[in-house]
Amino acid sequence: MAEIQLKNIHKRWGSFVGVENFDLTIADQEFLVLLGPSGCGKTTTMRMIAGLEDPTEGDILVDGKRINDLEPKDRDCAMVFQSYALYPNLDVYENIRFPLRMRKVPSSEHKERVMRASAMVELDDFLHRKPAELSGGQRQRVALARAIVRQPNVFLMDEPLSNLDAKLRVSTRAQIKNLSHELKVTTIYVTHDQIEAMTLADRVVVMSAGVVQQVGSPTEIYDNPANTFVASFIGSPAMNLLEGTIEGGTFTGKDVTITGLDSTHSGPITLGYRAEDAAIGGDAPSVNAPVYSMELLGDATMVTFRIGGTIATVKADKEFRAAIGETVAATIPAATCHLFDATTGERL
């Protein structure tokens, strides 16, 4: 059992703020993803939980017990690093077994626990190989098994898939998702990849410049982004953001007019829409603009426009074709639009 509470956590180095006023409760067995660009404070937050960094202010509690002063080895957290951090002179079996030796687990339990962890990540055929003889994906699975064998209260994973190629990332992501379901251990996972966040998380914490921007389920964050930063960070492609003005429920910008918006706001505004919510053509199109580029995705065609200096996309049928520079009409349904304050970027 491990419920983690972060109470008003701050981390500063002199005048530089790494994390500001982080306040969150992570439920027992929850898979929480910290998501954001490089330098946003997500790894620093994880390192404070692990005990590798001390918070400047605030308290970290596990099951109601304050752990700020506990050494990392006493926090019962198993960490999986981006760089694998394997011992090159030890074979796979001994790398997985190493935490058991360090924690003085009775040797009679070692083989059973190592073999169980190995089986979970499908490493039984590689136990006598050294790390240098393994692929990147196999090394990452060794690192996962080494964390599993400890049977910790908390898993901490710091961008564990960043060094893998695209195909391996997909398969290893599925393995981590399945392990989370099997092991039922509280997991905190750091990534800058929003696809990892959307597919793995029970809840996502989106961070920017050390500040939490939004906390919610992947669906909540995707469907109702709190501000333009979250809107532009979540989704593949990200939400399109158009600058313009709104009056009487009608949005007007360069090459775009959208009527029937449910808003009494008037004046400058930022309008957001998802590429999959728009469509090419329509009886009363919202956009008439030249095609900037086209990308064939297999199941669809991504059509990109340049609207008033902004790149905007529409997902069309896979058969759709148009020449670059050709003017094409597209419809953006008012019901699917998101409205943000033009100055603060906050959702209206």
Q: Residue 81: which pLDDT band, with cuts at 50, 70 and 90?
A: confident
CATH 3.40.630.10 assigned to 4-232: no
pLDDT in tens, 84-137: 888 999 999 999 999 999 888 898 999 999 999 999 888 999 999 999 999 888
Instruction: Give residue 59's pLDDT.
Output: 97
Residues of the chain within CATH 3.40.50.300 domain(s) are 4-232
Please give the Cα distance from 147 to 143 (Å, whole number).
6
Whether residue 163 has pLDDT greater than 90: no
Give the residue carrying structure tokens 């080494």. Answer: 146
- CATH code that applies to domain 237-341: 2.40.50.140
Q: What pTM did the predictor assign?
A: 0.90
Residues of the chain with CATH 2.40.50.140: 237-341
Burial degree of 103 (CB within 10 A; 0-12, 13-18, 19+): exposed
Q: For residue 258, what are the contacts with CB-CB under 8 A and spacing of at least 6?
A: 250, 251, 271, 286, 332, 334, 337
